[in-house]
Amino acid sequence: QYGSSNAAKMKTLYREGLKRRYGSLMQIISGVHFNFSFPETFWDALYGEQDEQARQDSKSDAYFALIRNYYRFGWMIPYFFGASPALC
């Protein structure tokens, strides 16, 4: 519930429509965004020396694997960082 104003009611109605169309789980997953990347030294250690296209393909495959496994391992993020004094 976003409140009682017209805009808030429209947001609530929109979310209810998404829930009916795609299901609650899909709505939750689509609302989670992480913006991070690994340094090139990480990819060097993981894959060794590669040409530019092979490196890009390897990185894409690895990031998509992370996305596919988010639901299985997503609980680790709040577990490891939820009580961390280093992160807000």
What pLDDT sits at residue 2? 82
Burial class (CB in 10 A: 0-12, 13-18, 19+), 7: exposed
Note the pLDDT of residue 75.
79
Q: What is the pLDDT of residue 71?
A: 75
For residue 74, give every residue at least 6 positions away whose Cβ sits within 8 Å of its Cβ, in sequence order, or none.
32
Q: Spell out the per-residue pLDDT of the chain, length 88, in tens.
A: 788 999 999 999 998 888 888 887 766 655 556 677 889 999 999 999 999 999 999 999 998 888 888 778 777 777 777 766 665 5
HEC letters along 4-67: CCHHHHHHHHHHHHHHHHHCHHHHHHHCCCCCCCCCHHHHHHHHCCCCHHHHHHHHHHHHHHHH
